[in-house]
Amino acid sequence: MAEYPDNLLYTKDHEWVRVDGTLVTIGITYFAQSELGDIVYIELPKVGERLAQNDSFGSVESVKAVSEIFMPISGTIEKVNDSLNDAPDHVNNDPYAQGWMITVKIETPSELHALMSATEYEDFLSENRN
């Protein structure tokens, strides 16, 4: 598994975004889950909720800390990964497939331009590890 797949976009808050037409699927990156440690609980929004870019859409609780998760783009929640209620460890084991969190209908497609490619995200991580 690639730590940062090329077909995704990334945020400085360590969320990933998979674009599929007018929908995007969002989760947290391999880096984020590795920093958090074992994830024990995830709080996600309700379907139909409208959130703006940079709004908190939930939280991830691990054995180390509780961290908020932020909206990479504005939109309306279309789907929530309810399987994470019973198996939050999917985010640790498979952050880009089973560990997806929400699917959002894009409201402002131009907001995607502010996100980073995999290469840009890896560069961002390298610059901020010091």
Residue 79 lies in a domain: yes
pTM for this prediction = 0.95
3-state secondary structure at position 95: coil
Residues 80-116 have pLDDT tens digits of 999 999 999 999 999 999 999 999 999 999 999 999 9
What confidence category does residue 129 fall into, taking pLDDT thresholds of 50, 70 and 90?
confident
Residue 23 lies in a domain: yes
Can you give the residue range of the structural domain that contains 58? 9-111
Q: How many domains does the chain have?
A: 1
Question: H/E element holding 102?
Answer: strand 102-106
Q: Report pLDDT for 35.
A: 94
Q: Closest Cα to residue 11, out of 128, 96, 91, 121?
A: 121
12, HSE (Cβ side, Cα atoms, 13 Å): 6
The CATH number linked to 59 is 2.40.50.100
Region 5-13: mean pLDDT is: 97
50-51, strands of its sheet edge to edge: 9-10, 15-20, 23-28, 102-106, 75-80, 50-51
Region 49-67: mean pLDDT is: 96
Q: Report pLDDT for 22.
A: 96
Residue 125 lies in a domain: no
